[in-house]
Amino acid sequence: MQNHHVTKLEINLTALKYNYQYFKSQTKPGTKTLAVVKAFAYGLEPTTLANTLEKEGVDYFGVAYAYEGVKLRENGIKTPILVLHAQVAHYKLFVEHLLEPNLYSIHTLKKFLAFAKENDLDNYPIHLKFNTGLNRLGFDHSEINQVIELIKNNKNVKITSVFSHISASEDPNEIEFTEQQISTFKNIVKQLRSSIGNIFFVHMSNTSGVINYPDAHFDMVRIGIGLYGFGNHIKETEKLQNVANLKSIISQIRTVPKGESISYNRAFITSKEEKIAIIPIGHADGFSRPLGCGNGYVTIRGQRAKTVGNVCMDMILVNVTDIYCKEGDEVIVFDQQKTVEEFAAICQTISYEILTAISQRIQRVFIK
């Protein structure tokens, strides 16, 4: 069913392509690029974005779970898809839709090898992730001999890549730790190649890693938040183009007399007559509750209108006493990275969460 919500997220595909090419320019020729489109493409919309990036020549897509990869395949994506958090229960989906699993533990490796043998798979592409300090998914270095023993000479699967993840690539205070991670990963790769041959490619860097650690670009880099306009520092973000604009309208304007309460829990009491605009976006849409009570704002006719009272599930109230406006006027929630970063700071979070929290009931509109 078509989405007719009046609040909409405008997605600039030209800006997306610009950001992709910017990061390509930061790597040496021949370095592969994986575009991370998990979590609904960081809250934007995965299928149109993936189709756009596929035409730009992206080498891989990265998703978190199998169903995200299935959605891309059902929408015509042919590029290889790495499922970063592959689940044992979904292995059948991988084969049906040509998805490539990340195997990250002895348990998942054994399970997939058994599945591959049972289904008579031939050189099915798999990826092995090693933990080098993030202590999230991944084989530990101490398990490498067991991994080699299990996979050496196995004809059912083929190791396509070996990878890891830098823990603090954006943090200048953690350079020593990051360099140790890179060194550990290089040793793991060397040991694997000496045992099973140079049959796989290698990757470790995320967006910040591309910017800060060129010696960790290896054969492929993984770009997530950078595609959507955010670098690891304000100066890097300024080099990128804004991809997402969140817009709404004024549903109603109400004149509230002095001494009246506004919104849930009487969170705001007027000290004078105030003009209040009601906007159809709330915490169910991703406008977080900490942005209420004057902490957050929207822009109407070029002027900031601060929130009044608590954020409701489906709407917010903003003060437009000093702004000439009328019902039906456009409202800008954000149209630049700076505003997203400000909202993130108010909510004591990061830009990722502001974007991924945007509800799928919000209409997505694509701009070229």
Q: What string of H, E and C letters represents the secondary structure of 17-29? A: HHHHHHHHHCCCC
Please report, as a single letter, which amino acid is at residue 117: K
Across residues 159-184, what is the average pLDDT?
Answer: 96
pLDDT at 138 over 80: yes
Residue 38 designated active-site: yes
Beta bridge partners of 278: 252, 317
Q: How many CB atoms lie within 10 A of CB 107?
A: 10
Instruction: For residues 179-189, give the mean pLDDT.
Output: 97
Report residue 1's pLDDT band, with 50, 70 and 90 as the boundaries: low
How far is Cα of residue 148 from the mean position of the Cα atoms in its chain?
32
Cα-based distances in Å from 306 to 97, 131, 184, 365 = 48, 45, 49, 26
How many helical (H) and strand (E) elements, i.e. helices and strands, does the chain have?
A: 12, 19
Give me the helix-helix angle, 106-118 and 144-151, nearest 10°: 0
Contacts of 62 by beta carbon, 8 Å cutoff, 6+ apart: 34, 35, 36, 37, 38, 81, 82, 84, 222, 224
The two tokens of residue 363 are 């209409």
Ramachandran bin of 282, using left for φ above 0, alpha for ψ from -120 to 50, beta for the remaining angles: beta
Quick one: which H or E segment has residue 187? helix 175-196
Task: For 54-76, write each residue's pLDDT tens digit.
Answer: 999 999 999 999 999 999 999 99
Percent of the chain with pLDDT over 90: 97
Question: Are 297 and 307 a contacting pair, CB within 8 Å?
Answer: yes
Residue 2 pLDDT class (50, 70, 90 cuts): low
Average pLDDT over all residues of the chain = 97
Amino acid occupying residue 341:
E
> How much is the average pLDDT of 104-124?
98
pLDDT digits (tens, 9 = 90+) for 115-137: 999 999 999 999 999 999 999 99
Model pLDDT for residues 301-317, shown as the tens digit of each residue: 999 999 999 999 999 99
The count of residues in the chain is 368
Contact, 162 vs 188, CB < 8 A?
yes
Given the residues 92, 117, 264, 326, the one annotated as active site: 264
Q: Give, in words, the CATH class of 244-367.
A: mainly beta
Query: Is 264 tagged catalytic?
Result: yes
**Among 17, 22, 32, 38, the one annotated catalytic:** 38
Work out whether the CA dihedral 207, 210, 215, 218 comes out positive or negative.
positive
Residue 232 confidence (pLDDT) above 90: no
pTM of the model: 0.95
pLDDT in tens, 139-168: 999 999 999 999 999 999 999 999 999 999
Mean pLDDT of all residues in 12-21? 98
Is CATH 3.20.20.10 the right assignment for the domain spanning 13-237?
A: yes
Q: Are 255 and 317 in contact (CB under 8 A)?
A: no
pLDDT in tens, 82-99: 999 999 999 999 999 999
Closest by CA to 70, choosing from 111, 35, 99, is 99
Q: What is the pLDDT of residues 297-353, one digit of tens each?
A: 999 999 999 999 999 999 999 999 999 999 999 999 999 999 999 999 999 999 999
Mean pLDDT across the stretch 228-253?
96
- Quote the DSSP letter at residue 130: B
| pLDDT beyond 90 at 368 | no
Q: Is the pLDDT of residue 354 over 90?
A: yes
> Closest Cα to residue 279, out of 243, 306, 259?
306
**Domain assignments of the chain as residue spans, ordered by start:** 13-237, 244-367
Contact 27, 230 (CB under 8 A): no
Common-topology check for domains 13-237 and 244-367:
no
d(CA 37, CA 43): 9
Q: Is the pLDDT of residue 240 over 60?
A: yes
**According to the 3-state scheme, what is the secondary structure of 51-92?**
HHHHHHCCCEEEECCHHHHHHHHHCCCCCCEEECCCCHHHHH
How far is residue 110's CA from residue 91's CA, in Å, rounded to a whole number?
A: 12
* Mean predicted confidence (pLDDT) in 186-213: 96
Distance CA 52, CA 88 (A): 31
